[in-house]
Amino acid sequence: MVNFNKQKGMIAILTGGGDVPGLNPAIRAVTVRALREGFQVIGIRRGWAGAIGLQRDQHADNRENFLVLTEEIVNRAGRTGGTFLHTSRTNPSAVAKSSVPIHLQTTYSAEKNDLTDEVLKNLDYLGVDYLIPIGGDDTLSFAVKLYKKGIKVLAIPKTMDNDVPGTDYCIGFSTCVSRTIELVNRLRTSAGSHERYLVVEVFGRYAGFTAMLPTMAGAANRCVIPEYKFKMEQLAALLTNDRNKNSSKYSVVLVSEGATMEDGALIVEGAATDAYGHAKLGGIGDLVSARLKDCSAQFNNGKTINVVNQRLGYLVRGGDPDAIDSIVPMAYGNLALDLILQGIHGRLVVLKNGRYDNLPLDVVTSTKKTVNVAKYYHTERLRPKYESFEMRPLFIMTSD
């Protein structure tokens, strides 16, 4: 075991999966509160990659795998975007042969390797009493596995898709929505100048929240989401009508990366998948743009309508967090510490109906969080429903 001066105990924090604004404020909140309560805090670098990369040797250089956290370190990073601990999409349950750390390659030589036992040994070597992973459903699904093997886990939900089950809010979502609205509004001038359709592809593999909320806020006329297969002709007719009613002669649709047409399949980039078996999505916006242009004339008196096509991608996950993604991570970090001080573990901190709470950790793997189409999406209009807002939480669509 590493010889730390632990006082009350050791807390380890890690960030996994995609980066979002709000991760550094969460790390800061956990660290500052924990240090003041008498705990030692370390950050595991590069998500689960650091947890498998550690060498259990007092003479080994493990600076790439973990970092002792201080108030100075976290205060310096706490107002910025991204994660200063870095991140990865590593899945310790299924590590490719090429990704096995060098010092473990003689032990693990299969094409896919389960390194869960190495993570358990490494956490024990570090003397970790509590583990706080910050991530989406993939990162947290492995945290559930560790909890079932005896690790004391308090999890914090993070993903701009806002699709971690059990919570109405995941770190990164508000900034994503804010950026989407801002960037779409910038693109309006080009769409209007050329009298075109504006097609904007946004994140959202399984859930359409990142398309629904900006549309609801007025950033777009229509949106298509993963939860509902849409008809191209229906979208073209609606957008053409929107365009014709607009004095600037343009209309806007947000397209979730996981959206599919009624007669099509998911659009993926290449055959490779990540460590959790997910194909890299992207390109549905290109296809929608091409198909819109091809069929536009039949809804526009025989005249073709051209398209402004833009994939927002990392533009919505870069930069500093907005106000909500500065406040919620602070609260989530302190919620995790409240639970630790009560000796409680195996929980996911959440926002539920506008109030902070916590739920059993395995809610992450027991269900899926997607848009309730019947409740929130108008399938004939291809847009959110603007009704029944009374007593709804801030972002309207909850983890039902």
Please tell me the number of Cα atoms within 13 Å of 142 on its side-chain side. 32
The helix (run of H) or strand (run of E) holding residue 251 is: strand 251-256
Interatomic CA distance for residues 178 and 153, integer angstroms:
31
Q: Is there a contact between 181 and 322 (Cβ–Cβ < 8 Å)?
A: no
Locate 170 and state its tokens.
């995941």
Beta strands 251-256 and 40-44 are unpaired
Interatomic CA distance for residues 67 and 283, integer angstroms:
38
Q: Mark whether 161 is an active-site residue.
A: yes
Q: Is there a contact between 27 and 41 (Cβ–Cβ < 8 Å)?
A: no
Beta strands 347-352 and 154-157 are parallel
The CA-based dihedral angle spanning residues 173, 258, 361, 29, taken in that order and rounded to the nearest 10 degrees: -20
**Looking at 161, 168, 242, 325, which residue is catalytic?**
161
Among candidate residues 270, 278, 283, the one with its CA nearest the CA of residue 159: 278
Q: What phi, psi does 119 have (nearest 5°)?
A: -60, -45
For the chain, how long is the longest CA-to-CA vector? 77
Locate 287 and state its tokens.
């296809």
Locate 254 and state its tokens.
């947000």
List, in sequence order, every residue forming a beta bridge with 377; answer none if it has no partner: 384
List, in sequence order, every residue forming a beta bridge with 357; answer none if it has no partner: 350
Please tell me the number of Cα atoms within 13 Å of 221 on its side-chain side. 21
Write the DSSP string, 159-184: -TT---TT-S--BTHHHHHHHHHHHH
List the catalytic residues: 161
